Every structure is written in structure tokens, then in C-alpha cells.
Amino acid sequence: MEAADRRTQLAADRTVLAAERTYAAWMRTGFAALASGVGARTLLAGVLGHWLVMGVGSVLILFSAFCFGAAVWRELFAGAPPPGTDVRRIPSGVLYFVNGFLALVALAALAGIWLGPFQNR
């Protein structure tokens, strides 16, 4: 009977860790979209038209802000941790603070690509 309890506990731990991996995937996607949005403006400035470059950059940056919000939503509403788990979840206050800050960074980057000087090559 003790082996079955241990397997149940390990399964609960894996469930919590799977939620953490999903959070990390949303964060990776958000960082990649943010970098791509800023990079698109810089790299595509001389290749494509102004409005197309700004549109692509804006969509990517807005998608990054969405990813930062979705990461928090997915982590907090993944359900209650299974009973008997030894793994602690990330505190919700930390999630709100970090992801809120990153969403503000994304909005600042959006303002930066629209208000900064547009350089044609």
C-alpha cells in the first residue's frame, strides 16, 4: 500500500511541475515575440514599406503582452494543486508583479517603435 501512496504523490508532483513548464513556455514565447517585434522594425525598415513594418512589429509586441497575461492566467487557473504534493507553486503575487512588469515593458516597446526615429537604410 505504501508504494501506491508514493506513486500517487509523485504523480501529483509531476502535475504541478507540468503547470510550471507550461508557464515557462508562455514566457519563452512572449520574450521571443517581444524581441521579434523590436527586431522587425529595425531589420525590415529598408526592405518593406513603413506601415507593413510597423504593423508586423506592433502585432508581435502585442502578442508578447498577451503571452505574459496568458502565462499568469494559465498558471493561476490550472486548478488547485493535487493533494499530497511536495512541490510548491510560484506565489501568485510574484506572478502578478513579474508578468505585469513585462506587459508594461511590452507596451513601452510598442510606444518606442512608434515614437522613435524611423531609419531607412
Residue spans of the domains in the chain: they are 2-115
What is the pTM assigned to this prediction? 0.81
pLDDT tens digit sequence for 27-80: 999 999 999 999 988 888 888 888 999 999 999 999 999 999 998 888 777 666
Instruction: Taking each helix axis as running N to C, give the angle between helix 50-76 and helix 2-44, from 0 to 180 degrees, rounded to the nearest 10.
Output: 160
Contact status, residue 30 vs residue 100, Cβ threshold 8 Å: no
- DSSP assignments along 50-76, one per residue: HHHHHHHHHHHHHHHHHHHHHHHHHHH
